[in-house]
Amino acid sequence: MTRTLYVLRISEAALEQPSTSQTLQVASNSPLNSDAPEVDSLAADPSTRPLAGVIAGQYAGKLAREFEELFSATGIEVVPWFGDTNNQQDAYVALEDVTIDQATAQHPELQRFDGQLSRAGTQESHYRALYCNLQPVDNPFGSSSTAEVGLSIRADNVEWWDHVTGAKASATVQRTVSGEHDDIEIYDATEPGFDNPVLLHEIAYDAEWPTDVRVWDDYNRSKSAQTTVNGETRTVDPTWQRCFVTSHEFVGTPILESDKLRLEADTDNQLLSASRWTGSSYDSVSLGTSDWRLRTLDLSRIGVERIDAQTEWVNTSNGGTHRMDLTLKRGREDALWTVPDNGSTPPQGLIDRLSPIASPADQAAGEVLDIVAKSEVRE
């Protein structure tokens, strides 16, 4: 039996009956991951919901950093905390006060973590709520008056709600796209005509994470690897680190994913590579011919529904530079490239470069995923 904290799996037995002889299994949540490292439980008090342990194994350092960053993430409001079978512990939780230390000076493969969970609500008491803050943007790639947002196809009872006036409206699926882990339904936040649109929905705890946006540090290695444990060969996927904070210091190449579009930002070689999920693999997308190359990627937000960043580009023919804002949203086939505040219209060569992966929308939804009490929504 295991429990899952968003995308990290933890042995339920070790948390409920902690002892130094018990072990946890903790791993990045992935359908292919079969090499969960061992973790010794140090303490667990169900009333305060602490998580404490020592992560052991080949990828202990990576996993410990994922714990640390998830607890420190400012772009994530609450995450699901659930078990293999439903019980009264399942809930949405906020994460607090994590510490990460090397368990012993002699063994860097042992990493100690200690954090706290704060209960925020449950599926029975709260809706999942995608709060939208519609804003016009300066988009040199088009003027489509839409502000599209995505939800997993597993979401039910989807409707628009104005959190100020209390008005409600039906939510129409604009289209459905096939992502790496599941299908995603696309909605338009301009549809209800609300000043404060919120996309209410219900979704199982274990259906949330697969289609969320992701930032990876690829550590300059393949995403999957073979390892041998006690004579047994296992596949580890992912070996990349999931990043949750914008201050992450990358060891390898930053990789941004919408579950449909993948962007690899190799700033060391001034190269942006793009690929789209086509049903069984990510297939390369050819960017436009141009002298403009990616110089920097500055992440400003890592959420579960969108990633924001500012990019700087350099013209290799004359040394000129230009900045563009980037937003990558759940399930989107294209990225939203916009002119920054106090910025200027990009040169044609840069427009040509990015056009194959550029959304034409002239509004940003500014979506943030949270929860809202059902009692607050009742008419």
Domain edges within the chain: 2-121, 126-218+253-379
Tokens of 231: 């004579």
Place of tokens 């590579």: 273
Predicted local distance difference test score (pLDDT) of residue 101: 60
| CA atoms of 303 and 313, how far apart (whole Å) | 24
| pTM of structure | 0.89
Q: Is the Cβ–Cβ distance between 76 and 118 less than 8 Å?
A: no
Tokens of 204: 């199982």
| CA atoms of 26 and 6, how far apart (whole Å) | 12
Residues of the chain with pLDDT under 70: 11-49, 52-54, 56, 86, 97-113, 229
| CA atoms of 147 and 364, how far apart (whole Å) | 5
Tokens of 132: 């939208």
Predicted local distance difference test score (pLDDT) of residue 329: 98
> From the CB of residue 113, how many other CB atoms can be counted at a distance below 10 Å?
24
> From the CB of residue 375, how many other CB atoms can be counted at a distance below 10 Å?
8
pLDDT tens figures, 22-70:
334 444 443 333 333 333 333 343 435 677 666 767 788 888 889 889 9
| CA atoms of 304 and 317, how far apart (whole Å) | 38
Q: If we measure between CA atoms, which residue out of 350, 357, 356 comes closest to residue 332? A: 357
Predicted local distance difference test score (pLDDT) of residue 234: 81
Q: Is the Cβ–Cβ distance between 10 and 3 less than 8 Å?
A: yes
Predicted local distance difference test score (pLDDT) of residue 109: 61
Predicted local distance difference test score (pLDDT) of residue 46: 41
Helix (H) or strand (E) holding 14: helix 12-16
| CA atoms of 252 and 265, how far apart (whole Å) | 10
| CA atoms of 38 and 107, how far apart (whole Å) | 14
Predicted local distance difference test score (pLDDT) of residue 53: 65
Beta strands in 79-155 (DSSP E): 79-83, 91-104, 107-121, 126-131, 135-136, 148-152
User: What are the backbone angles phi and psi of residue 269, rounded to the nearest 5°?
Assistant: -110, 15
Note the CATH architecture for domain 2-121. Answer: Beta Barrel (2.40)
